[in-house]
Each structure stands twice: as structure tokens, then as C-alpha cells.
Amino acid sequence: MTSRHRTSTRASALGRASLLACALACTLSLKPAFAQNAVAYQPALDAAWAGRTSEALRLIDVYLAKHPDDHAARLDRARFLAWLGDYAKADDALAGFGADDKEAAAVHARVLAWAERRDAALALNTPLYEADPGDYDNAWTQALILRQGEWPYQALPALATVQAVKPDGKDTIDLAKAVRLPLFSSIGLAPSLYSDSDDIEIRSIAADTNLWLSDRWRLLASATRREHSANFGGPFAPLLGDNHVDEDRVGTGLRFAPSPETALELWMGNSRIDNGVGSDNKTIGHLQFSQRASDAFLYALTLDRDRVDQSPRALAVMRHGLAADLRWTPTLRDRFDARIASDDFDDDNRRTSVLANYARAVYRGGRVMFDLGLQVEGQHNTRNTDNGYYSPDRYRRYAVAASSYISLGQEAGLYLSAALGQQRDETFDNWKRATDINAELTLGIFSHWQLVGHAGYSQRLNQFGRYEGATVGLNLRYRFCEFRAGRCPSVR
């Protein structure tokens, strides 16, 4: 039996997107409406302007304990919480203001925009923006909201207003960078290495492009070279030929966004493998429909056809799959992610699997964010085919999961995740330890050039001892939009 699970990477990705989105928002300024003249809680404002937001929050809490009805101070406290990235507490702080309080509504809209509550933010800010389209703060928030979703170009008119009012302001420049980000086209190069204690090694290098064709269409293309190897004569080596299999993959596709909430993606390609005595060509691809059904619920449905890439021997097996990826965020503190999949293999095996993750925002400190939660995983296969991939009848895993984002400045950040739990399948006489650790460093969050380095480690105990697997990789990407000047915000 092999315990070569790659689900640790997928589980980590379930929590990464929202945490990084929160971190992205925290790199932007929340322009405070601080009083121009000294006020009773001036030390708190001075600390906030100096970047000591935690200190500012502590000082304003002391002040509000004695002056709980100070309207301006209560609003500034909500702003401080948002600066720290604690949108849930900021939302709570703003709940006590009346529905007709326009200043509170403006702050609340921006907090909700950062928290990716697009519909709720638009409901609050659009009336303010339409009543005074030339107002800097309302236009700033409107652009921040509309950059989300499948039609980010909708943010450009509001951004133009912001740039006209304060073309050289830091807040303006930061917003332009954020709006430009989803409008970028890109080309990338990604080398990676995987190895494990089953003596499986996979070396890969991939090139890809994501090209903006129009407001609703994107062109996708990729080419990958992979070298899979395992001990000759072992259970993961090819049945014929050498102890390794070379694979070349190439494909192209289109992504169409009929609305700001939905997208349809079709990608088709070819995979050619060579084991030293012959080659085999197969058509691969996927069709995906994704939708943001509401502020709290997103999903994607994917039909795909691909090789099983868990070992050199497994590459000869083709898989047809249907998967549903779900995300539910009932509150600004809680997030549930799940992937439910059904796969049909051409070696007469069928698989159903579930991977679910719950995360709660435990700490938001401006530069450090920390989430804590749980993971559960299950898998059932109808046959143990001995074709070089793990196919248990009943696999179960549960784990306590933690993840953190550490800001290293506006252009760099470090994401860390770990899951410590136990696993079991039908061959185990009891539960065994299962551990996953992942790290991802991003350099160039907003810039044209971006470099992402990632590393992962998994350890599994089973009836036969200990399994270990590790992966490292880089992703170098160049992003651009200047060839479409009307859809490329200028950044001074």
C-alpha cells in the first residue's frame, strides 16, 4: 500500500484564498476621516497615523470606556479594527450606528468590500456614490468593490474619479495597483520537484499564459514537461520499459464570463507519455462552471479527463472526474470549504471522495493573521487495482488545522499552514498519525514581476512504517496589461 496523498496541498489551498484576499486588502489604506484639529483622543489618532494601529486601538478603547457616546471616536475605532484586518470586529462595531448615519454607512461599505461582501457593500455605497460621484472617498470604495468578481473593469470609472481628484496620493496609487491586479494578463514559468519515501520522484517544469482578450474572454494555454521515476521492479515502476516515464502535456482553452458572478472555462490538451519502449497519447481537458451565488456562497463544478499522476505506473491509467468545490462564509469569522468528487478510472475502479475544511479567524494583527480550524477527509474505491495509486476501500482522516499569513510589506508575504491529525483505512488495526506542513512566500504582490516559492511536507504512519513526502517549487510570473491602455490603470 502507498500512502502517497497529495490532498494536503489541496487542503491548504482551501484556506489560502480567503486569508490571502484578506491580506491583500490590508495592504491598502483605509482613508480615515480623522479630525483636522486636535481631539480628546488625539494620542490614538497619532499612533494610528504612525502605523501603530494596535496601540491606537488600545488608547481609543480607554477613551471610549469613559466617553461611550463619542460618535467620531466610535467610527475611528471601527477604522482601526479594519486597519488590523479584523473585519468581523469592525462590522460588530458599526452595527450600533443608525441606518441613516451616512458616515457610518460609508465606513461600513469599505469594511464589507475588504471582507469580500460585494453585494452588501454595493447596497451601502452605491447610493452614496451616485449622490456625489465626484466624492473621493465614495469613489475609492466603489472601485474597491467593483474590482471583485469576473468583471473587474467595472471599477475603472470610479478609479478615474479617484485619480482625477488626487492623482499623486498614496491611497490613489494603492487603489490603482489593486484594481489593475485582476486586469493583468500573464505568462509564467513553474519548476517543481516531488519526492517521497516510496522512492517516487516527479520533476516538472511548466509554462503557461493567461491572456486578456476582452472584458469577458480570456485565452489560456500551457505546456508541461514531467519526469516520473520509481525503483525498477517496484510496485510503482512501469510494467514495461525503464524505471521512469516522461510526460509532455500541452493544451489551450478559453474562459468566458457572462456576468460578474459567473464564469465558464474550457481547456483541452494532449498528454504524451514515453516509458522507453513506446509512447501513448491521450486527450485531456476540463470544463468548469463557477458562480458566486451570494456574498456567503461560492461554488465551482468541474468535469475533467486526465491521467492519474501518483506514480510512473499510474500514468497509464486515465481518469474521468466530476468535482464540486464549495465555499460558505456564514460570518466574517467563519469559513467552510469542501471538495466532493467522483472519479471513474479506466482500470474498472471508481472513487468517491470528500475533503472538508473549517477555519475561524482567531487573530488579526495588521501584519499577522491566524486562523484555526478542522479538516476531515474520506475516500472510497471499488477496487484495489495495484496500478500504482492509492485506492483504499475506506480511508478516513481528521486533523486540527492552522494557517497564518505574515505580511512582509506591501509587496511580500508569507503563508504558513499545518494540519496535525490521524488517519485510518481498512488495513489499519488502529488510528495512525498524519501531519502536513506547507509554506508559500510571495514576492511582488502588485508588481509586474512576481515570484512565488512553495514547499510542503507530509508524514503518514501506516501498518508498514512511516511514509514521508516533500515538494518544492517556484512560480515566476510576468503580468502586463499595457497593450490594452483602456483597461490598464496607470500607476505612478
Bigger pLDDT: 51 vs 104: 104
Residues 348, 387: Cα–Cα separation, whole Å = 11
258-279 burial, b for 16+ CB within 10 Å, e for fewer?
eeebebebebebebebebeeee
* 370-397 tens-digit pLDDT: 999 999 999 999 998 889 899 999 999 9
Instruction: Assess contact for 237 and 230: CB atoms under 8 A.
Output: yes
CATH 1.25.40.10 domain range(s) in the chain: 24-182
Share of the chain above pLDDT 90, in %: 75
Position 471 pLDDT exceeds 80? yes
Q: What is the pLDDT of residue 34?
A: 46
* 269-295 tens-digit pLDDT: 999 998 766 678 999 999 999 999 999
Instruction: Assess contact for 416 and 438: CB atoms under 8 A.
Output: yes
Question: Comparing 40-44, 355-359, 401-405, 455-459, which segment has the lowest mean pLDDT?
Answer: 40-44
Q: What is the pLDDT of residue 418?
A: 97
Question: Would you identify the CATH topology of the domain 24-182?
Answer: 1.25.40
Mean pLDDT, residues 45-70 taken together: 91
Tell me the pLDDT of the chain averaged across its residues: 90
* 310-337 tens-digit pLDDT: 999 999 999 999 999 999 999 999 999 9
Could you tell me the pLDDT band of residue 484, with boundaries at 50, 70 and 90? confident
Position 194 pLDDT exceeds 80? yes
**Burial (CB count <10 Å: 0-12, 13-18, 19+), residue 405:** buried
Position 479 pLDDT exceeds 90? yes
Q: pTM here? A: 0.90
Residues 271, 282: Cα–Cα separation, whole Å = 5
Question: Comparing 176-190, 303-317, 393-407, 459-473, which segment has the lowest mean pLDDT?
Answer: 459-473
Phi, psi of 418 (to 5 degrees): -150, 145
Question: Comparing 32-36, 246-250, 286-290, which segment has the lowest mean pLDDT?
Answer: 32-36
* 410-446 tens-digit pLDDT: 899 999 999 999 999 998 888 999 999 999 999 999 9
Question: Would you identify the CATH topology of the domain 185-487?
Answer: Porin (2.40.160)
Could you tell me the pLDDT band of residue 32, with boundaries at 50, 70 and 90? very low
Could you tell me the pLDDT band of residue 451, with boundaries at 50, 70 and 90? very high
CATH 2.40.160.40 domain range(s) in the chain: 185-487
Residues 303, 248: Cα–Cα separation, whole Å = 22
Could you tell me the pLDDT band of residue 36, with boundaries at 50, 70 and 90? very low
Bigger pLDDT: 125 vs 367: 125
